[in-house]
Amino acid sequence: MFCTAPMLHAAGREVYKRVPGDFIALPPSRAARMGLTARKAPAWRFIPIRLSATMGADHENRPEVSITAAPQEQPNAFVFHQADPERYAEMMRSCLRNLLAEVGR
């Protein structure tokens, strides 16, 4: 399930809580039609960073990497972060189970 959230994000889906212990990943427009907008349950977020790499001045030409987690600068990458670490695994299991139940319907 390590890649469930990035796949859901890439598909434009967000996580919503239907009932305790049951989460579903839906496009926001479908969640609105189902009346789930107020039950959005953020499971992850992406932290903007500025990443740069330059070749080192030493004789071995090792790269020097600089990472800055500063949203005020123009980000060129994002770091995945679990927004709710205590429930993240439960949320992803439930979303994946509900998503797979829809396959072929």
Ranges of the chain with pLDDT below 70: 1-2, 55-61, 70-73
Task: Please report the pLDDT score of residue 3 as a whole number.
Answer: 83
- In this structure, are residues 78 and 46 in contact, taking their beta carbons and an 8 Å threshold? yes
pLDDT score of 1: 52
Q: Give me the residues paired with residue 40 across strands.
A: 16
Rg value, the chain, Cα? 18
Question: Where exactly are the structural domains of the chain?
Answer: 1-43+83-105, 46-82
